[in-house]
Structure 1
Amino acid sequence: MRQIILDTETTGLDPLQGDRIIEVAAVELVNLLPTGAVFHRLVDPQRDIPAEATRIHGFTNGDLAGKPRFPEIIAELVAFLGDSPIIAHNAPFDFGFLDAEFRRGGAPPLDRSRMIDSLALAKQRYPGMPNSLDALCRRLGIDNSMRTAHNAILDCRLLAEVYLELMGGKQPGFDLAAALASQRQVIAVQDAIAWTPHPIEPTEAQVAAHTAFLQTKVKDAAWLKQPFAETPRVP
Structure 2
Amino acid sequence: MSDSFFTPHHMCSFDLETTGPNPRTARIVTSSCLDIDLPESSSTGVEPHLVTHNWLADPGCDIPAEATAVHGISTEQARREGSPHAKVVKETVAHLYTAWEEGRTLIVYNASFDLTILQHWEPTFEVRGLVLDPYVVDRALDKYRKGKRTLGIVCEHYQVSLDNAHNSDADAWSAAQLATRLADVYPQLLTTPADDLMALQTEWHRERQQSLREYLERVRRDSHSVETEWPLLGPLVQH
What's the TM-score, normalizing by structure 1? 0.62
C-alpha separation in 2, matches of 1:99 and 1:151: 22
Correspondent of 2:140 among 124, 144, 166: 124
Q: Does 1:88 align with 2:108?
A: yes
Q: Does 1:140 align with 2:158?
A: yes
Q: Which runs of 5+ in 2 are unaligned?
A: 1-6, 41-46, 188-239
Q: Does 1:46 align with 2:66?
A: no
Q: Does 1:37 align with 2:59?
A: no
Correspondent of 1:12 among 10, 14, 20: 20
State the secondary structure of the residue aligned to 2:83: coil
Runs of 4+ in structure 1 displaced over 6 angstroms? none
State the secondary structure of the residue aligned to 1:37: strand
Q: Does 1:162 align with 2:182?
A: no
**What do residues 100-150 of structure 1 show as CA deviations (whole Å, max 9, x unaligned)?**
1223xxxx2032653322101111232133332111221122233x33x41
Which residue matches 1:115? 131
C-alpha separation in 2, matches of 1:40 and 1:4: 13
AA aligned opposite 1:27:
L
Q: Which has the larger radius of gyration?
A: 1
Distance 1:15 1:91, change over 3 A: closer
What's the TM-score, normalizing by structure 2? 0.61
Q: Report the aligned-residue RMSD.
A: 2.6
Q: Which runs of 5+ in 1 are unaligned?
A: 172-235
Residues 179-194 of structure 1 aligned to structure 2 (within 5 Å): none
Distance 1:34 1:44, change over 3 A: farther
Question: Contact between 1:164 and 1:170, CA under 8 Å: does it hold in 2?
Answer: no
Which residue matches 1:177? none
Identity score, percent: 25
Aligned positions, number? 164
Question: Contact between 1:28 and 1:34, CA under 8 Å: does it hold in 2?
Answer: no
Question: Contact between 1:34 and 1:160, CA under 8 Å: does it hold in 2?
Answer: no
Higher relative contact order (CA closer than 8 Å, sequence separation 6+): 2
Question: Contact between 2:37 and 2:50, CA under 8 Å: does it hold in 1?
Answer: no
